[in-house]
């Protein structure tokens, strides 16, 4: 079981796998960081690129923990 902090604050979330950890992080992100999620703008392709970058960075953090 890995415990990592949210990339935007000190909230900690646990998960056995990256997918489990991300699913546990989603409710926190939706409540505490809804403004960040809404601030992403651009075309659908740009938003997809931003999301993929964010997921890749978080996967690297999870794998390194």
pLDDT for 36? 80
Q: What is the pLDDT of residues 10-42, one digit of tens each?
A: 999 999 999 999 999 999 988 999 888 777 777
What are the strands, taking DSSP E only, across 1-65? 2-5, 12-15
Q: Is the pLDDT of residue 61 over 80?
A: yes
The token duo for 5 is 């902090």
CB 11 within 8 A of CB 5: yes
Q: Is the pLDDT of residue 44 over 90?
A: no
Q: What is the pTM of this model?
A: 0.80
Domain borders along the chain are 2-34+41-64
Confidence band for 8, pLDDT divided at 50, 70 and 90: very high
């Amino acid at each position: 079981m890995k415990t990592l902090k949210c990339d935007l604050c000190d909230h900690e979330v646990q998960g056995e796998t990256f997918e489990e950890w991300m699913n546990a992080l989603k409710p926190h992100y939706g409540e505490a960081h809804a403004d960040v999620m809404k601030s992403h703008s651009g075309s659908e392709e740009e938003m997809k690129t931003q999301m993929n970058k964010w997921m890749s960075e978080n996967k690297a953090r999870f794998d390194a923990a």
